[in-house]
A and B are shown apart, each in its own frame.
Chain A
């Protein structure tokens, strides 16, 4: 080999990106006798610092790497080896060294040299490491998510099992997909006899309930969701049940679409309690009214037969007793009415009613009870409405007695009756304490009493509630306009009576 060639080869080695060293195995401790430019660049050492040292100097303090043993084994067997070993640059920085070692053997089989080729694969290693970490973290996340999902499922199912209501999930052909324990307990059925079966065929077609069928077949498709749908049904084994249902068909896209959720409240006991409460109230108010009837009768007899002999003081006392007996009577009546209205039991016996007569009757009654007030009735025509006269009288009486009660400083109440479109409007206006705007929507609630007036004006807070219900039942409206400190105007409307429309 001539010098020119050797120089060419050296140049070639120096232009390689891989670090290349040659060691002399025949010398003590196998020192490095050659390194190329790239080796200097990778390690940060200069050629002067490298030549003469054993390769292990690159391992720094990090001597106990398994890869060293591997290199040793290959060297002993005179094999080529490829390992990745942690090495340290002159500045102490770690780099991963991909090291190829091949022994050079002479004719006698002695290893004269080792040629080492090394590449800095730190960046690949880092990427690999990051990838591994990323993968591990993704795996952790999946484990975490799966755990969360599982916990969520358990949480949801414990909610479903805790709810005091029966819950069913149906597919779009009304097969029961799942049901909670409350359902099994309430309707005394087993899971095996329920899951997978068509709802209407459950328990030998016990669930073949026409109302339920029409709910699911006809109403739900166009009125989703359905709330508070009442169904009564006699089950052969558990007797008559009143059920209140909510039904919801899932509309969001995905695997649950078109499933039907059915929540069933067993309202049998509640209805029974309501019925007993109504019975109790109606018996109680009847019993209370009996002595009241006697008292009222006796007082009127007293007024009738001894009027001429009564001193003014005496007759004032008797008048006051009459007033308070009337009030007591009204409270008892209201109590009974509330319970009836609440359960929808109030019956109206509608007939054509002449409004002028009804209002005049109320006006007469009210002024007879309280002579300190004057009622100014403005009615421009005779109007007939189709109504339950007693109930309408009750509403007018209620509005008038409120007007009297809450306008102690004024002695004037106005009633105006007029025709508005196909309605008759009756307005009762007082010039009393009025109602603040915030309160005007609440005063029609049951048992609602304006807190500032509660002490000075006794009552139970059901008069307006009942009045509103009565007017609603008559397809009219009841509302109030009021200015605090100036007075209130209560208005109600009733449809005008027309022979053709109403009496069917």
Chain B
């Protein structure tokens, strides 16, 4: 694996959604790290230093908001763009306030996922 393949960290408590995201993003040439246990997310992000993080907001035990907060308050990983996913369309404002770079509503559109990741990488 060369450093040229951008690294994307995915976290969603639903394995099937991780699978779908992986199936969408892998053919685009990204390296995927997927995690369904939200409590392990922060450690993995610190270890892996991904280029983009994709985060579900509604997860048991540790919510996407808590993870987002930990990311933004940690200087080592605080600048990584974070795309958040939520089933509710009314959370965008709140998510952006918490530091989300992009907001995608579930069920998402395949093209939106690819476009969002690409645009995050261009920043």
Contacts and interface: CB of A to CB of B under 8 A. Distances in A.
Interface of A: 282, 285-286, 289-298, 300-301, 304-305, 325, 329, 333, 336, 340, 346-347, 349, 390, 394
Interface stretch (B14-22, B29-37, B43-51, B70-78): B14-22
A298 B88 contact: no
Mostly, the B contact residues are helix
Contact of A301 (B24, B93, B107): B24
14 contacts: A285-B87, A286-B87, A289-B106, A289-B107, A290-B16, A290-B17, A292-B107, A293-B14, A293-B17, A295-B107, A297-B17, A298-B20, A298-B23, A390-B92
A286 B58 contact: yes
Contacts of A293: 14, 17, 20, 87, 106-108
A282 B20 contact: no
Given A298-B20, A301-B23, A340 B90 contact: yes
B88 A282 contact: yes
A290 B36 CA distance: 14
A289 B23 contact: no
**9 interchain residue pairs of minimum CB distance:** A297-B20, A349-B93, A300-B110, A289-B87, A293-B107, A296-B107, A294-B16, A293-B106, A286-B87
A305 B107 contact: no
Most B C-beta atoms less than 10 A away, residue of A290, A291, A296, A298? A290
B122 interface: no
Contacts of A291: 16
Contacts, number: 65
A300 B16 contact: no
B89 interface: yes
Nearest to A287: B87
Nearest to A326: B107
Nearest to A296: B107
A336 B88 CA distance: 9
B89 to A, nearest CB: 5
A155 to B, nearest CB: 51
Contacts of A295: 107
Nearest to A288: B87
Contacts of B19: 294
B87 A296 contact: no
A339 B109 CA distance: 26
Given A346-B90, A394-B89, A296 B17 contact: no
A324 to B, nearest CB: 12
Interface in B102-120: 106-110
A325 B88 contact: no
Nearest to A350: B93
A394 B89 CA distance: 10
Most A C-beta atoms less than 10 A away, residue of B19, B107, B110? B107
Nearest to B18: A294
A295 B19 CA distance: 11
A305 B27 CA distance: 10
Nearest to A390: B89
A289 B108 CA distance: 10
Most B C-beta atoms less than 10 A away, residue of A282, A298, A300, A333? A300
A376 B89 CA distance: 28
B90 to A, nearest CB: 6
